[in-house]
């Protein structure tokens, strides 16, 4: 019987970003990937509150990038999935002196400004970051292009939620089995942030994929699918 997998996409993209992984998981997991609409108030906790009730206890909750942050936040706010899979996730998106494992604050501010002033160019830059450092850069860009979200009005509050969130003091409370999958060459959310997460979450395991950037589920879907199915097979209730 297929495992129920609920997948939450990253900022700037829609559910189609999961198409390569959905294909690779066919016969093993039944994936539901809803479109996530950012909160009007631009607060990640508000968004996570609205999503937590949609998570069923028989589902494995998977989040990519912003979706990974939402998945962690939803679990801190009452969601109780069977397990977690975090792809290219981090506890904080914007760097500080105490948290260097992220985009520089100046770069983040430039994205926010650019989204307001020139959304098309800003979203094109963000697309390019997904594949930066990836050995299959062209293939990643080709696969993600159709999944892009182009409505700046919908993206602005979601970006505010991403930039304003900081889960570092809370992730240790997530006691669910968790698989963290991260590209070694991720230029958007550096591997060190995922390594830190793996040390803080009591039941987390880190799977690092060499030659992959921020979208390993697109760059190496078969390898990601195997990591997920092996993880699910190892769960106590498998």
Catalytic residue among 9, 65, 90, 94: 65
186 an active-site residue?
Answer: yes
Q: Domains along the chain? A: 3-233 (3.40.50.1820)
Residue 183 tokens, joined: 């590209």
Count other C-beta atoms under 10 Å from residue 34's C-beta. 13
Which is the catalytic residue, given 19, 134, 160, 186? Answer: 186
The answer to whether 65 is a known catalytic residue is yes
pTM metric for this prediction: 0.96
The single residue of 73, 134, 182, 214 carrying the catalytic annotation is: 214
Q: What is the pLDDT along the chain (238 residues), one digit of tens a residue?
A: 689 999 999 999 999 999 999 999 999 999 999 999 889 899 999 999 999 999 999 999 999 999 999 999 999 999 999 999 999 999 999 999 999 999 889 999 998 999 889 988 999 999 999 999 999 999 999 999 999 987 777 799 999 999 999 999 999 999 999 999 999 999 999 999 999 999 999 999 999 999 999 999 999 999 999 999 999 999 988 7
For 25, 32, 50, 195, 228, the CA distances from 221, given in Å and listed in that order, are 9, 17, 29, 21, 10
The yes-or-no answer on residue 94 being catalytic is no
């Amino acid at each position: 019987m297929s495992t129920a997998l609920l997948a939450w996409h990253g900022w700037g993209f829609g559910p189609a970003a999961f198409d390569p992984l959905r294909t690779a998981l066919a016969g093993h997991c039944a994936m539901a990937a809803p479109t996530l609409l950012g909160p009007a108030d631009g607060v990640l906790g508000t968004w996570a509150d609205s999503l937590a009730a949609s998570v069923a206890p028989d589902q494995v909750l998977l989040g990519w990038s912003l979706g990974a942050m939402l998945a962690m936040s939803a679990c801190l706010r009452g969601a109780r999935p069977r397990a977690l899979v975090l792809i290219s996730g981090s506890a904080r998106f914007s760097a500080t002196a105490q948290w260097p494992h992220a985009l520089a604050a100046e770069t983040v501010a430039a994205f926010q400004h650019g989204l307001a002033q020139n959304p098309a160019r800003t979203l094109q830059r963000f697309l390019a970051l997904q594949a930066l450092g990836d050995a299959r850069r062209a293939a990643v860009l080709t696969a993600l292009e159709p999944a892009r979200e182009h409505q700046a009005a919908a993206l602005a509050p979601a970006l505010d939620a991403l930039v304003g969130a900081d889960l570092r003091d809370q992730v240790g409370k997530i006691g669910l089995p968790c698989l963290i999958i991260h590209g070694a060459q991720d230029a958007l959310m550096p591997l060190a942030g995922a390594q830190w997460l793996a040390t803080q979450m009591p039941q987390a395991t880190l799977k690092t994929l060499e030659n992959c950037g921020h979208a390993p589920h697109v760059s190496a879907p078969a390898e990601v699918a195997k990591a997920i199915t092996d993880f699910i097979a190892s769960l106590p209730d498998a």
